[in-house]
Amino acid sequence: MAIHENDKDEIDLFREAIKGANPLKISPKKKEHKAPQKKPNPIPLNFIRDEKQALNDSISDQYEPLHDIENGEELFYVRQGHSPDILKKLRKGYWVVQKSIDLHGMISDEAKAYVVQFLAECKKNNIHCIRIVHGKGYNSKNKEPVLKNKLKHWLAQKEEVIAYVQARVYDGGSGAVIVLLSAH
């Protein structure tokens, strides 16, 4: 790049102007220190897995209650020490169903784990009235309600279950139960 005569004069003028100047002593830039980031709490995966397993193990498929929990086709149960009037109120819809799950298409072990987890979640969130749709068994191997038969025993083993009744027709009829949970 060629330097023109005007540019050369300006450069000379600049050099003449700064002739006796001493460069400033500037220390290198200080590093900025950021506040240390708080490490997230570790996720206790083994503990979570063990808790889920303990919940699943809290109910058994071989449980047989001391008292009858159904009358013919209709499912109902009331925990000992509670008034049988609870069953009448449940049947009439005295409590509003706050949450519901559907077990259609699940195998027994999946349904058991899902029910146990659902009950624990309801207990944690202070939910007292739920609906569990178990189906009527039309798609099962022998056309019998496998989950219905297991669900009645699973629910009777959970202390938070006060009572349950077969759902009204528009809530699922013989393919669902309405469950009343204790307040904790």
Residue 77 backbone phi and psi in degrees, to 5? -160, 140
**What gap in Å lies between CA 184 and CA 165, rounded to an integer?**
21
Summarised one tens digit per residue, pLDDT across range 55-70 is 666 565 555 554 544 4
Q: How many domains does the chain have?
A: 1
pLDDT in tens, the chain (184 residues): 555 666 778 888 888 888 888 877 777 666 666 777 777 777 777 766 766 666 666 565 555 554 544 455 677 899 888 988 999 999 999 999 999 999 988 888 899 999 999 999 999 999 999 999 998 877 767 767 788 888 988 998 888 999 999 999 888 888 899 999 997 6
Domain boundaries, position 145: 75-181
Quote the pLDDT of residue 136. Answer: 82
Q: Are 122 and 166 in contact (CB under 8 A)?
A: no
Q: Answer whether residue 85 is part of any domain.
A: yes
Q: Answer whether residue 54 is part of any domain.
A: no
Q: Answer whether residue 30 is part of any domain.
A: no
**What gap in Å lies between CA 122 and CA 129, rounded to an integer?**
9
Q: Answer whether residue 144 is part of any domain.
A: yes
Quote the pLDDT of residue 101. Answer: 95
